[in-house]
Structure 1
Amino acid sequence: MIYKKVPHNFQQRFEVASCFVEANGEFLLLHRRDDKSQGDKWGVPGGKIEEGESREAALLREVREEIGLIFSGEEPQYFDSMYVRYPDYDFLYHMFHIQLERKPELILNASEHKDFRWATPYEALRLDLVQDEDACIRLFYAKASELLIAQSSLRARTLDEVYAAIVGALRHLREDFSYPSIGYVSGVVTSDGPDKIGENLKRLQNIAVGLREEHFFPILSPPDIFSLALIERLEKGGIKGEDFVQFWRSILFSGYITDIFMTPRWQESHGACDEHKTAMRIGLQIHYL
């Protein structure tokens, strides 16, 4: 099991540094030798941090030893750390990421691995992965999904265009990334008056950020889709408050949202009340914050 927060009675035995090496929409996976721990399984490059070694230095050493790769210019950037619990021991798992312009020539260390491949997240999640690697892949790409959702509506001029873009992004997350759950944050946006819309959007965004630190699946909120500029653009086109209510109702009915998070004071919002009613009707998992 992996955890974002320190689990009870966590007894760390060692630390591991790993790296998502990306190029051309795919990332690198190594196929472990049969005689190694978790043999015949696939995982990203990485290994144990030696005593007195920084996690960054350990990562560069492991990548060099495993695949003969020495980064020139930009080095891998730290992404996140997970607490990992196996039946016999606990360890801390550090994740890094680097985006390369092209796939490099690799020299595979045959004493460690028997093969390598570049894979999309969809392809990777269908391989026989090392323990908990699937959760790490989903965690890594969950953050990328926030950008995907935000970018999907940037050029939209109508609510119908926004809906089509967002449903397309949600479908991509469910079908290509195999996320079993996708969440939505509901709450007050316009009920406090036009002067408070920006403040309320920021509040919902901050709540969503906090929730993403606790959960291993994408969670979207109204400000991920509707910037103030987009709201103003839509309102100039004649869109009214009730149109936004219908929009979110349709998003919930799309079948891609599984969890809804009701933020404080949601009962004061006509839209949030409608979303709560819809969630009850279609059987979403409701979380009251």
Structure 2
Amino acid sequence: MSTGVFREILETTSILAKNRRILVATTRVELAKRYSGSILGMLWVPLFPVLFLSVYLFVYLVIFKMKFPGYSQLDYVVYVFCGLVPYIGFMESVNSGCHAIKQNIHLVKNVMLPIELVPVRYVLSSMVAQLVGMGVLLLLVALNGSLSLHLTWLPILMILQIAFLVGLVWILAGLAVVVPDISYFVNLMTLLLVFISPIGFKPDMVPSGLSFMVDMNPIYYMLEVFRYSLFYGGFPPLHIGLPYVLMCLVSFGLGAVFFRRFRNILVDYE
């Protein structure tokens, strides 16, 4: 990594740190705005992950009659929820975040607000739903008797996940200003990934000829590290944990460099 690239990453990180109070305040505004006008309002924050889980489980348990050998139904519910909760954070972040710059360009042009903060607040507001879902998941884990000291890794896993999502959303939000079709592609990909990612099935259930769909899927590594902390009660093996850490750091670094080099173009683009 060249000195210039490393400096750009550090400068972007410094901007986030210096403006953390503004970031928190604007995240609250974004969260309130997201549910304003709806009848249930902020109740959608806990309702969405629960309803999403219910629909997913209905499809796999009732329609497909999915069963894992040696797993009880509660085991399967916890297994699915361990994958679905972080996936909700991913899906909400990228689907909403790709519109971040295009929908808020007035904030950057007319107010002294660093453009780097705009996509980040979308990620943070989306992670609130994941945090609520994580609370429900911890109750299920307790009922299932899977609680362990490995839960202490959760904050680190989530910080890495946020770094991954921030980097990805920086890139997507920037591209969506120039190529609006990006948002349609992102919506399609998040719909596809919910089916091909090992949320309701195990990776070893995938035919060997299609195993590359799991191995090359970054979401697989994200889901598995959370499962090891919450469900398996152990440290993820090196071939799971190392790719997860690397992809999170690389995503943040690439996103930071991309955004710093193209931010002036994005602000002036009509």
Please, what TM-score do these two structures have when normalized by structure 2? Answer: 0.29
Higher relative contact order (CA 8 A, sep 6+): 2
Structure number with the higher helix fraction is 2
> Rg bigger for which structure?
1
